[in-house]
């Protein structure tokens, strides 16, 4: 048993952690670590602030004043924070972990601002890789050069020996060169898959741009990378996340068709080898619910480093690709109301089966019609399957209809949102959906006021996995082009502590892990982050200038700024 004593009324608790669960055995060699002279935001509403923290064997053993923590942590490695802020480790509730790692080492197109720069970067990257190697990722943004979609003819001449299949930054639109189209057998006569679109030119030939489900035609033709390349992607992701204070992630899997269980196998291999420095809650496609049910029955749900039991589905696409499902047409194209990637009745069948098996259902819905449809599916399934703690989630929840805010809390559905998208999309969203729908877009304030539990994440690779920028976005809503100094839709701003909770305890709740992480309390995992300033006392416009100084996972320092 754990023996805990209250040493004072200022939140100091010391526990005998000698009796540990089997999962903690691998942490038994982790030495004592203490951080003193800090501004510790615990995330615990009852006792939100302290001065110091200590851990042993991967768990928090003390939180309180510096003097008291020093007594409890005698013999510990002591770090003097010199007044810097300590917060619970950030939990990114929506990430594409393996894709992000691959993207770190692929061609970088996110900030290519002209057609010529786009072509030049691809040409230069192609010179650095062997013939036959696929060029993927990229994260291009055609709005930066005026909105013209790229075409295969732009890049065919500079990639004669390499198939190219590079995605737009939102992951819902990709460009293939002629070699990649040939590999996927995409021609002018190829039928358009349901839930997707093959863009064609005036002559009826594919331009190379494929939207949503149409991308699967080329994805399925890609040759898989060898295990050592996958492992390097895992390591690259963990280094990047640690440097940004992210200690846990909810992995939504790879975009496209690497195979529904490919990422799961890669991450399980990393856990088995003891290489993980980021905690991972893994989702597989919703269509795979029966296989996941059997996997859980045979193997349980994992441990504190790698857990599974979640399923990710899709209702619609994205706003930038005009594939978000809306009740009314897009302002810039009134005849277009987006599309459903998955038919509602199919979604209902999968959700009901998965929920009946006790699995965790997570579904992407962006447009107001998509959100309304998925909330109704959740409501129907909950009534039919009966009460339980299911914590259904809607990922993104971007453009909510006026009558649907209260349904999130009433149905216990978690809006899992990415605040960086608000200051990115806010540059152009009004032109696409108009001011009225924009007023209910990334509606953090309205959701909190409706008593919904917010979980925040990044959607990395689509956006950077930088929680400090996410907090800045949620608090200021100042768009990336600096054209909204008072905030885009300022009525939807939230406070710093509300944003911190969404990135910590809110995301922990969204993965059924609130008893293990999300706040700095005795017995919880020793995952915490040091920031160079107190975010609650920093002018909101300066939050994005803050820096992560130290990241600790399981009592071990995984990142330290020199």
pLDDT at 29: 60
* Exposed/middle/buried for residue 25 (C-beta within 10 Å: 0-12, 13-18, 19+): exposed
Quote the DSSP letter at residue 384: H
b/e burial code for range 302-326 (CB count within 10 A of at least 16 → b):
bebbbbbbbbbbbbbbbbbbbbbbb
Cα–Cα distance, 446 to 440 (Å, whole number): 8
Contact criterion met (CB below 8 Å) for 374 and 347: yes
The set of residues, in sequence order, having a beta carbon less than 8 Å from that of 213 and lying 6+ positions away, is: 193, 194, 195, 196, 341
The tens place of each residue's pLDDT in the chain, 562 residues long, gives 333 333 333 343 334 333 333 343 344 467 799 999 999 999 999 999 999 999 999 999 999 999 999 998 888 999 999 999 999 999 999 999 998 998 888 899 999 999 999 999 999 999 988 899 899 989 999 999 999 999 999 999 999 999 999 999 888 899 999 999 999 999 999 999 999 999 999 999 999 999 999 999 998 898 877 788 789 889 999 999 999 999 999 999 987 556 789 999 999 999 999 999 999 999 999 999 999 999 999 999 999 999 999 999 999 999 998 999 999 999 999 999 999 999 999 999 999 999 999 999 999 999 999 999 999 999 999 999 999 999 999 999 999 999 999 999 999 999 999 999 999 999 999 999 999 999 999 999 999 999 999 999 999 988 999 999 999 999 999 999 999 999 999 999 999 999 999 999 999 999 999 999 999 999 999 999 999 999 999 999 999 999 999 999 999 999 999 8
pLDDT at 256: 57
The set of residues, in sequence order, having a beta carbon less than 8 Å from that of 191 and lying 6+ positions away, is: none
Angle, helix 344-356 to helix 289-299, in steps of 10 degrees = 10
Contact criterion met (CB below 8 Å) for 85 and 116: no
Contact criterion met (CB below 8 Å) for 283 and 363: no
Prediction pTM value: 0.84
Edge-to-edge order in the sheet of strand 33-36:
59-64, 52-56, 33-36, 77-80
For residue 231, give the H/E element and its range. helix 227-243
pLDDT at 522: 96
Q: What domains, with CATH codes, occur in the chain?
A: 1-89+519-562 (2.30.40.10), 97-219 (3.10.310.70)
Closest C-alpha among 263, 213, 256, 259 to residue 237: 263
- Residue 280: both structure tokens together: 């991972």
Collapse the DSSP code of 337 into the 3-class scheme (helix H, G, I; strand E, B; otherwise coil) and give the result.
coil
Closest C-alpha among 273, 260, 183, 293 to residue 228: 273
- Residue 539: both structure tokens together: 């002018």
pLDDT at 258: 65
pLDDT at 7: 35
């Amino acid at each position: 048993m754990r023996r805990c004593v209250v040493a004072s009324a200022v939140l100091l608790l010391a526990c005998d952690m000698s009796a540990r669960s089997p999962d903690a055995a691998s942490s038994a060699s982790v030495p004592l670590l203490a951080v003193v002279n800090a501004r510790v935001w615990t995330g615990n509403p009852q006792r939100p602030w302290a001065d110091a923290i200590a851990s042993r064997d991967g768990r928090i053993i003390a939180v309180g004043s510096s003097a008291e923590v020093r007594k409890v942590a005698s013999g510990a490695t002591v770090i003097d924070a010199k007044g810097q802020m300590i917060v619970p480790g950030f939990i990114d509730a929506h990430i594409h972990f393996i894709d992000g790692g691959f993207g770190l080492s692929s061609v970088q197109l996110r900030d290519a601002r002209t057609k010529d720069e786009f072509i030049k970067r691809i040409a230069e990257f192609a010179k650095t890789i062997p013939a036959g190697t696929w060029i993927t990722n990229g994260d291009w943004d055609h709005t930066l050069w005026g909105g013209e979609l790229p075409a295969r003819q732009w890049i065919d001449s500079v990639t004669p020996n390499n198939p190219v299949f590079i995605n737009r930054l939102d992951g819902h639109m990709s460009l293939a060169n002629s070699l990649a189209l040939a590999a996927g057998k995409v021609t002018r006569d190829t039928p358009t898959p349901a839930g997707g679109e093959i863009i064609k030119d005036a002559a009826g030939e594919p331009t190379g741009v494929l939207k949503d489900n149409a991308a699967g035609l080329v994805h399925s033709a890609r040759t898989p990378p060898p295990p050592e390349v996958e492992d390097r992607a895992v390591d690259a992701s963990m280094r990047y996340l640690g440097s940004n204070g992210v200690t846990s992630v909810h992995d939504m899997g790879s975009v496209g068709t690497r195979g529904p269980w490919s990422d799961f196998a890669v991450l399980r291999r990393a856990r088995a080898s003891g290489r993980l420095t980021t905690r991972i809650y893994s989702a597989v496609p919703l269509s795979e619910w029966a296989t996941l049910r059997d996997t859980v029955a045979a193997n349980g749900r994992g441990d504190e480093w790698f857990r599974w039991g979640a399923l990710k589905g899709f209702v619609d696409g994205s706003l930038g690709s005009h594939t978000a499902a809306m009740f009314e047409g897009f302002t810039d194209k009134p005849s277009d109301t987006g599309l459903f990637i998955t038919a509602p009745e199919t979604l209902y069948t999968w959700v009901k089966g998965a929920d009946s098996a006790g699995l965790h259902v997570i579904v992407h819905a962006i447009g107001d019609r998509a959100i309304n449809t998925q909330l109704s599916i959740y409501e129907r399934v909950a009534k039919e399957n009966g009460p339980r703690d299911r914590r259904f989630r809607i990922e993104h929840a971007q453009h909510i209809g006026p009558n649907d805010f209260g349904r999130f809390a009433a149905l216990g559905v978690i809006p899992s949102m990415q605040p960086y998208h608000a200051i990115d999309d806010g540059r152009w969203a009004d032109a696409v959906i108009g001011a009225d729908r924009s007023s209910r877009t990334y509606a953090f304030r309205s959701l909190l006021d409706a008593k919904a539990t917010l979980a925040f994440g990044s959607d990395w690779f689509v956006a950077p996995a930088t929680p400090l920028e996410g907090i800045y976005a949620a608090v200021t809503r100042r768009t990336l082009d600096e054209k909204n100094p008072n905030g885009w839709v300022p009525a939807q701003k939230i406070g710093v502590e509300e944003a911190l909770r969404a990135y910590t305890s809110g995301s922990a709740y969204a993965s059924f892990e609130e008893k293990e992480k999300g706040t700095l309390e005795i017995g919880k995992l020793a995952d915490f982050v040091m920031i160079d300033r107190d975010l609650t006392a920093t002018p909101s416009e300066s939050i994005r200038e803050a820096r992560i100084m130290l990241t600790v996972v399981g009592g071990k320092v995984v990142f330290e700024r020199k």
